[in-house]
Amino acid sequence: MCGIVGYCGLRPAAPILLEGLRRLEYRGYDSSGISVGNDGKLTVIKKMGKIKNLKSHVPEDLPGTFGIGHTRWATHGEVNDENAHPHSDASGKLTIVHNGIIENYIPLKEKLMAEGVEFKSETDSEVIVHLMASLYDGDLEKAVKETVTHLEGTYGLVCVHADEPGRLVGARNGSPLVIGVGDGEMFLASDVTAMIAYTKQVVYCEDGEVVSLTAREFRTTDLKDREIEKKVDKVAWDLSEVEKAGYSTYMEKEISEQAESIHRAMRGRISTENASGILGGLNLSNQELRRVKRVRILSAGTSYYAAMTAAYMLESMARIPATAEFASEVRYANPVVEPETLFFVISQSGETADTLFAMRELKRKGATVLGVCNAVGSTIARESDGGVYIHAGPEIAVASTKAFTSTLTVFYLFSLYMARMRDMAFHNGKAMVEALELIPGKVNEILARKDELQAMAKKYLYAKNFLFLGRGINYPLALEGALKLKEISYVHAEGTSSAEMKHGPIALISEEFPTMMIIPNDSLREKNISNLKELKARKGPVLVIATEGDTEIADIADDVFYIPKTMDILTPLLTAIPLQVFAYYMALGLNRNVDQPRNLAKSVTVE
Ligand code: AGP
């Protein structure tokens, strides 16, 4: 997704903008650019490709202590230099960068062209700068406010004008913007990662706000120019957490730190005394939680597979009917909101447009919506009626790994909490607590055997297709395993339930079409083994994730990776790991850009 960086202060702006853009690379992009102001003019340099390409075109000593930068994830118009941001008006004195989609850009563009404006790009964003130029009369903040009243759609935008040196003006509606308050300098960016190297003092902008900032101060107002008091927050994590810390990729680092991240998701949230979970921030009393008769969990992508797993936990442990639904579908389905239904949204970034807009639609209908997020201070986290942070730490790799297992952990604790206030007995809760506390160690046992998965990946690098199968609470894990593989290795993969395989997908099976099966030693093992044999009968290669000691499976499958024993219902916290590692080594073996796979964005802030 597009990334925005703005700076004004006493230091040369170009190096700070370039470094900020480099830290936003993880969001996914295909071109980038900067605009730096100095001596009554703006210098705009923008290039397709990676930041290092842009950097090679920026003079080392480019003067100017204020400016803006952008990484573009193309939505309108192909990937080329002209479509990259920043966009300039005809005079070259005004430039803007934009994240989001302007839904009504075509009529606006037609009107501007009829007035003689010449467009250089195919983007929707360029409309903004020309409209703003037509409204500018020496007050940039005023021009921004007038401009955005004409826009329909989403924007996080920042602009500079050569005649207002040292000033940045930003506006937010649907795409994130955060102010960084430095010592004699200010930052304005899409997310904290761009500025964490310089300041931890941040201010989160809300939709409908306009911010005008100089090196020493910032002013936040609404579109009617009413001042808005803003709180300065302190970022809880530091720069080291967004470094690779010796790993070759962010994904390898984030896979490897899951024992710690799962432990952090549990820390302070287990009551040994009550054999239950403790979750602050739900903003619901026990009585209100007891009245919950249904749970609906909305999200996207990997977070949707976490939602499916969570729904299974809730129904199985707490006996509460629960479903997982695509946020993008629910938003436009005119959902029925019943008082005894509790909604959750899951979002690692807390900025996913599909999920954010679905939450807003539900709240508009009177729903109570809790957010389970990783990014502290993110829009979904701030707009939800309460919720839980998963404390996974910054997740930089586009493919989500530690956020997935930390989200599951939070829902295990929530399900335990709901179960223990209903029918679950103390001893069952105690067994669950004890089993949960052993999970981080078991995760490390699995990670210590990564080389087995590397060997398996090497053996199957020929595969152009993969089928992933699982049953029960591991059915969503099959779907997640397929997503992990396809999104980073570009090998086509699909997941389905082991039982469903017989109703169609088995037609795909041949010696060239391998299957990854998840067969823990649980109550569905025998059924899974029947499906395994059906695959083998058709000469399909089969890799199995099985429970240690289950030697019978090794006699049937082509390859087996064993995971430690745990409670049946907790197996997803363990089966997720080999699925991630296998996909990782397949992608490495195919020389893919593991951290920034093609076409993908870390946080999809457009619909
Ligand atoms: C998962 O590996 C992908 N990066 C993607 O499916 C992601 O899970 C999805 O876009 C949702 O993101 P969120 O959790 O930040 O809302």
CATH code: domain 3-235 is 3.60.20.10
**Residues 29 and 2 sit within 8 Å (Cβ to Cβ):** yes
pLDDT higher than 90, residue 506? yes
Residues with CB under 6 A from ligand 1: 300-303, 347-349, 352, 355, 398-400, 487, 603-604
CB atoms inside a 10 Å sphere around CB 82: 16
pLDDT attached to residue 238: 79
Closest CA to 7 of 70, 94, 57, 71: 70
* String of DSSP letters for 570-585: GTHHHHHHHHHHHHHH
pLDDT higher than 80, residue 90? yes
Q: What is the pTM of this model?
A: 0.82
Instruction: Specify the residue with its C-alpha closest to ligand 1, atom 9.
Output: 301
Confidence of residue 597 (pLDDT cuts 50, 70, 90): very high
Ligand 1 atom with least separation from CA of 300: 11
Does the domain at 448-607 match CATH 3.40.640.10? Answer given as no
Q: How far is the CA of 348 from the centre of ligand 1 (A)?
A: 7
> What residue ranges of the chain are covered by domains with CATH 3.40.50.10490?
244-437, 448-607
What would the mean pLDDT of 183-204 be, rounded to a whole number?
A: 94
What would the mean pLDDT of 98-115 be, rounded to a whole number?
A: 93
Q: How far is the CA of 465 from the centre of ligand 1 (A)?
A: 22
Report the sign of the C-alpha dihedral through residues 277, 278, 284, 285, in that order: positive
- Please write the tens of the pLDDT for every residue from 337-348: 999 999 999 999
Structure tokens at 437: 């506390």
Q: How far is the CA of 418 from the centre of ligand 1 (A)?
A: 27
pLDDT attached to residue 91: 97
Ligand 1 atom with least separation from CA of 603: 15
pLDDT higher than 80, residue 25? yes
Exposed/middle/buried for residue 183 (C-beta within 10 Å: 0-12, 13-18, 19+):
exposed
Nearest 5°: the CA angle 167, 188, 147 is: 65
C-alpha 484, offset from chain centre: 14
Pocket test for ligand 1, best of 302, 401, 584 (most atoms within 8 A of CB): 302
What would the mean pLDDT of 428-447 be, rounded to a whole number?
A: 97
Q: Which residues are catalytic?
A: 2, 602
Confidence of residue 377 (pLDDT cuts 50, 70, 90): confident
DSSP state of 118: P
pLDDT attached to residue 81: 87
Ligand 1 atom with least separation from CA of 302: 8
Instruction: Specify the residue with its C-alpha closest to ligand 1, atom 3.
Output: 399
Radius of gyration of the chain (CA): 25
What would the mean pLDDT of 113-129 be, rounded to a whole number?
A: 95
pLDDT attached to residue 59: 95
Burial 299-323 (b: 16+ CB within 10 A, else e): bbbbbbbbbbbbbbbbebbbebebe
- What residue has token string 């992608």? 587
Q: How far is the CA of 169 from the centre of ligand 1 (A)?
A: 30
What is d(CA 352, CA 233) in angstroms, rounded to the nearest whole number?
22
Instruction: Specify the residue with its C-alpha closest to ligand 1, atom 5.
Output: 301
Structure tokens at 17: 């903008």
C-alpha 469, offset from chain centre: 25
Q: How far is the CA of 585 from the centre of ligand 1 (A)?
A: 20
Element (H or E) spanning 308, and its range? helix 301-313
Instruction: Specify the residue with its C-alpha closest to ligand 1, atom 10.
Output: 301
What is d(CA 601, CA 573) in angstroms, rounded to the nearest whole number?
25
What would the mean pLDDT of 120-141 be, rounded to a whole number?
A: 96
pLDDT attached to residue 381: 95
Q: Would you give the end-to-end CA distance of the chain in angstroms?
A: 11
**Residues 579 and 5 sit within 8 Å (Cβ to Cβ):** no
Question: For residue 306, how many C-alpha atoms fall within 13 Å in the half-sphere facing its CB?
Answer: 28
Beta strand ranges found along 9-146 (DSSP E): 31-38, 41-48, 66-72, 87-88, 94-99
> What residue ranges of the chain are covered by domains with CATH 3.60.20.10?
3-235
DSSP state of 503: G
pLDDT attached to residue 273: 95
DSSP state of 93: S
Ligand 1 atom with least separation from CA of 398: 4
What is d(CA 452, CA 371) in angstroms, rounded to the nearest whole number?
37
pLDDT higher than 90, residue 471? yes
- Please write the tens of the pLDDT for every residue from 284-300: 999 999 999 999 999 99
- Please write the tens of the pLDDT for every residue from 314-339: 999 999 999 999 999 999 999 999 99
pLDDT higher than 80, residue 98? yes
pLDDT attached to residue 446: 98
pLDDT attached to residue 240: 76
What would the mean pLDDT of 515-526 be, rounded to a whole number?
A: 97
pLDDT higher than 90, residue 246? no
pLDDT higher than 80, residue 239? no
pLDDT attached to residue 602: 87
pLDDT higher than 90, residue 73? no
pLDDT higher than 90, residue 475? yes
pLDDT higher than 80, residue 302? yes
Instruction: Specify the residue with its C-alpha closest to ligand 1, atom 7.
Output: 301
pLDDT attached to residue 389: 94
Tell me the three-class secondary structure of 447-493, residue by residue. Answer: HCCHHHHHHHHHHCCCCCEEEEEECHHHHHHHHHHHHHHHHHHCCEE
Sheet containing 233-234: order of strands: 41-48, 31-38, 66-72, 3-8, 186-189, 178-181, 201-204, 233-234
Ligand 1 atom with least separation from CA of 400: 2
**Residues 400 and 604 sit within 8 Å (Cβ to Cβ):** no
Q: What is the dihedral of CA 433, 435, 438, 440, to 10 degrees?
A: -80
Q: How far is the CA of 602 from the centre of ligand 1 (A)?
A: 7
More confident residue, 600 or 417: 417
pLDDT higher than 80, residue 191? yes
What would the mean pLDDT of 224-239 be, rounded to a whole number?
A: 90
- Secondary-structure breakdown of the chain: helix, strand, coil percentages, each rounded to the nearest 5: 40, 20, 40
What is d(CA 421, CA 418) in angstroms, rounded to the nearest whole number?
5
Does the domain at 244-437 match CATH 3.40.50.10490? Answer given as yes
Instruction: Specify the residue with its C-alpha closest to ligand 1, atom 4.
Output: 399
More confident residue, 26 or 68: 68
pLDDT attached to residue 317: 97
Round the average pLDDT of the chain to a whole number and report it.
Answer: 95
